[in-house]
């Protein structure tokens, strides 16, 4: 069994991936970006471990032995499932390995923004606090979560975990299903107009699809409260970055916390790169999923997917 890991560093060099060597002959590449690189590196592979590398006809047509592609993630939008199925190539992803961490990061962003932590941290470290003659300072107003409405887009594992945490903070939770097929009944399901109009906090946890691309655009942002906080820990293109920039500059919403962007890493051509006020926007480098524990689980789950495949059992296969 020849296994090729195309993006070894996507889980971080601190995480041990030697377990795959128990399954066969493994070739590791730190990163693989282009179709040409993929095609050359997988041409003799039986199993491919990938994350963002393009998995399609152009990159796989000469890889005659490939039987399994293991996504080192939950998302599989880098993979042409129809083409893989036509070739008899199974695609397996990793499920629920980072739910707790992504939910945690959602609230890390929301709390930092609503409580103006960047401002008050700087206030103390600048010496301004030491120079004042009173014990406290709250020159920039901040708010509580309790009593607010928390809107959610995407009520999967992560969305449901966020809903539980929001409830624990005393928020009213509402959600919107982009596909309209959600079976969740624990929280009120609302249409997009209601979601935008009523949410004090709006967090995005949906997969990227034609339905979700640009879900938050200029029109949507204009319908939100000017005190609203937007959190995107889903996929970058769910939010139109240029439209968000104008909404923040024009005060259409109060703040945004982003762990994902339309193009990653952040490009200088992205207007959001111009915004430097961390009370208005916080951008983290696609790390919401990446605790040590979550990355370790991700590696282990891929190992289990390959092991099961070798035993003739489909595990987490997304194109049966």
What is the tens place of the pLDDT at every residue in 234-248?
Answer: 999 999 999 999 999
The CATH classification number of 99-283 equals 3.40.50.720
- The predicted pLDDT at position 132 comes to 97
Note if 71 is an active site residue.
no
- The predicted pLDDT at position 145 comes to 98
Q: What is the DSSP letter of 14?
A: T
Which residues make beta-bridge pairs with 79? 55
Q: Which two tokens stand for residue 200?
A: 């004090």
Which residues make beta-bridge pairs with 92? 70, 317
Domain ranges for the chain:
2-97+292-310, 99-283
99-283 matches 2-97+292-310 in CATH topology:
yes
- The predicted pLDDT at position 261 comes to 98
Catalytic residue (choose from 213, 286, 307, 315): 286
d(CA 288, CA 292) in angstroms, rounded, equals 11
Q: Which helix (H) or strand (E) holds 192?
A: helix 192-198
Place of tokens 């890991």: 5
Q: Are 289 and 101 in contact (CB under 8 A)?
A: yes
Note if 105 is an active site residue.
no
Note if 235 is an active site residue.
yes
Of 114, 81, 101, 70, nearest to 303 by C-alpha is 70
Helices (H) and strands (E) in the chain, counts: 11, 11
The CATH classification number of 2-97+292-310 equals 3.40.50.720
> What is the spatial order of strands in the sheet that 68-71 belongs to?
25-28, 2-5, 47-50, 68-71, 90-92
Catalytic residue (choose from 235, 252, 262, 295): 235
- The predicted pLDDT at position 117 comes to 98
d(CA 46, CA 66) in angstroms, rounded, equals 4
pLDDT per residue as tens, the chain (320 positions):
999 999 999 999 999 999 999 999 999 999 999 999 999 999 999 999 999 999 999 999 999 999 999 999 998 989 999 999 999 999 999 999 999 999 999 999 999 999 999 999 999 999 999 999 999 999 999 999 999 999 999 999 999 999 999 999 999 999 999 999 999 999 999 999 999 999 999 999 999 999 999 999 999 999 999 999 999 999 999 999 999 999 999 999 999 999 999 999 999 999 999 999 999 999 999 999 999 999 999 999 999 999 999 999 999 999 99
């Amino acid at each position: 069994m020849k296994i090729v890991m195309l993006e070894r560093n996507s889980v971080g060099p601190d995480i041990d991936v030697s377990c795959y060597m128990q399954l066969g002959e493994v070739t590791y590449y730190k990163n693989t970006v282009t179709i040409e690189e993929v095609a050359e590196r997988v041409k003799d592979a039986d199993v491919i471990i990938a994350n963002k590398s393009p998995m399609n006809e152009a990159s796989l047509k000469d890889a005659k032995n490939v039987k399994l592609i293991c996504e080192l993630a939950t998302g599989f939008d880098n993979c042409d499932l129809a083409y893989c199925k036509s070739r008899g190539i199974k695609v397996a992803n990793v499920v629920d390995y980072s739910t707790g961490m992504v939910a945690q990061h959602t609230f890390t962003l929301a709390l930092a923004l609503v409580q103006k932590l960047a401002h008050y941290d700087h206030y103390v470290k600048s010496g301004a606090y030491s120079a004042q003659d009173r014990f406290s300072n709250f020159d920039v107003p901040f708010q509580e979560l309790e009593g607010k409405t928390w809107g959610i887009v995407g009520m999967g594992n992560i969305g449901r975990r966020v809903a539980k945490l929001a409830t624990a903070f005393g928020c009213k939770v509402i959600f919107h299903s982009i596909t309209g097929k959600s079976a969740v009944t624990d929280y009120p399901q609302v249409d997009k107009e209601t979601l935008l109009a009523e949410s004090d906090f709006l967090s995005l946890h949906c997969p990227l699809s034609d339905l979700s691309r640009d879900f938050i655009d200029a029109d949507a942002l204009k319908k939100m409260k000017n005190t609203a906080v937007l959190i995107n820990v889903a996929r970058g293109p769910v939010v139109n970055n240029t439209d968000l920039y104008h909404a923040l500059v024009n005060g259409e919403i109060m703040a945004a916390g982003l762990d994902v962007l339309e193009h990653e890493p952040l490009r200088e051509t992205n207007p959001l790169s111009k915004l430097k006020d961390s009370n208005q926007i916080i951008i983290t480098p696609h790390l919401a999923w990446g605790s040590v524990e979550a990355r370790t689980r991700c590696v282990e789950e891929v190992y289990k997917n390959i092991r099961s495949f070798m035993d003739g059992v489909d595990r987490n296969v997304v194109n049966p």
